Chains A and B, each alone.
Chain A
Amino acid sequence: MIATYAPMFLMLAVAALVAGAFFVGATFLGGKLKVTPEKMKPFECGSESSGGNHLKLSVKFYLTAILFVVFDIEAVFIYPWAVQFKSLGWTGLLSMFGFIAVLVVGLVYCWKKGALEWES
Chain B
Amino acid sequence: MNWLPTTQDLIAAMVKILVMVGFLFNVAGFLTWVDRRLSSMIQDRVGPNRAGFKLGPINLRIAGLLHTAADGVKFFTKQDFMPPKADKLLFSLAPMLAMIPVIALAAVIPMGDTVAIGDIKRVICVENGVAIARANELGQCAKGVATTVWPAAMRSGLNANKGVIDLAVSPLNVGLLYVFALAGQGIVGAAIAGVSSDNKFSLMGALRAASQMVSYEVTMGLTLIGAMMIYGSMRLEDMVRWQGENCWGIFVQPLGFVLFFVAAVAESKRIPFDLPEAESELVSGYFTEYSGMKFGMFYFAEYMEVVTSSMLLVTIFLGGWQLPFLHRDGLTLAFGDEILFAQKLPHIWVVIFGVGAFFGKTLAVCIFQAFVRWSLPRFRYDQLMKLGWRKLLPLSLANILATGVIWLALDKLGPTFQPTIKLGYDITQAIVAVLINVGLLWLVIGFFKPVKHARFIVGSSAEQADKRGGTVATPMQA
Q: B443 to chain A: closest CB distance in Å?
A: 32
Question: What does the 1/0 interface line of B1-34 toward A look like (CB < 8 Å)?
Answer: 0011110011001101100110000000000000
Pairwise interchain contact B13-A75, C-beta atoms closer than 8 A = no
Which residues on the B side are within 8 Å of A118 (C-beta)? 381-382, 385-386
Q: B463 to chain A: closest CB distance in Å?
A: 41
Q: Does B296 contact A (CB under 8 A)?
A: yes
Q: How many residues of A contact B (CB 8 A)?
A: 70
Q: Does B92 contact A (CB under 8 A)?
A: yes
How many angstroms between the C-alpha atoms of A75 and B389 in the bound complex? 14
Which of under 10, 10 to 19, 20 to 34, or 35 or more describes the interface residues of B?
A: 35 or more
Which residues on the B side are within 8 Å of A76 (C-beta)? 221
Q: A16 to chain B: closest CB distance in Å?
A: 6
Question: What does the 1/0 interface line of B378-413 toward A look like (CB < 8 Å)?
Answer: 000110011001100110010011001101100100
* Cβ-closest chain A residue relative to B84: A40
Q: What's the dominant secondary structure at chain A's contact region?
A: helix
How many angstroms between the C-alpha atoms of A20 and B93 in the bound complex? 10
How many angstroms between the C-alpha atoms of A104 and B401 in the bound complex? 12
* Cβ-closest chain A residue relative to B235: A83
Pairwise interchain contact A89-B200, C-beta atoms closer than 8 A = no
Pairwise interchain contact A3-B294, C-beta atoms closer than 8 A = no
How many angstroms between the C-alpha atoms of A15 and B169 in the bound complex? 13
Q: Does A109 contact B (CB under 8 A)?
A: no
| The 5 A-B residue pairs with the shortest CB-CB distance in the complex, in nearest-first order | A26-B293, A118-B382, A15-B103, A7-B13, A8-B170
Interface set of A (CB-CB < 8 Å, partner B):
1-8, 10-12, 14-16, 18-20, 22-23, 25-27, 29-34, 39-40, 42-45, 49, 51, 53-55, 57, 60-61, 64-65, 67-68, 71-72, 75-76, 78-79, 82-86, 89-90, 93, 96-97, 100, 103-104, 107, 111, 116, 118-119
**Can you show 18 pairs from A to B with CB atoms below 8 A apart?**
A1-B3, A3-B6, A12-B104, A16-B96, A19-B95, A55-B204, A61-B210, A64-B214, A64-B215, A65-B211, A78-B225, A79-B177, A82-B229, A85-B228, A93-B405, A96-B404, A104-B394, A118-B386
Interface set of B (CB-CB < 8 Å, partner A):
3-6, 9-10, 13-14, 16-17, 20-21, 75-85, 92, 95-96, 99-104, 106-108, 169-173, 176-178, 198-201, 203-204, 207, 210-211, 214-215, 217-218, 221-222, 225, 228-229, 232-234, 283, 288-289, 292-294, 296-297, 300, 381-382, 385-386, 389-390, 393-394, 397, 400-401, 404-405, 407-408, 411
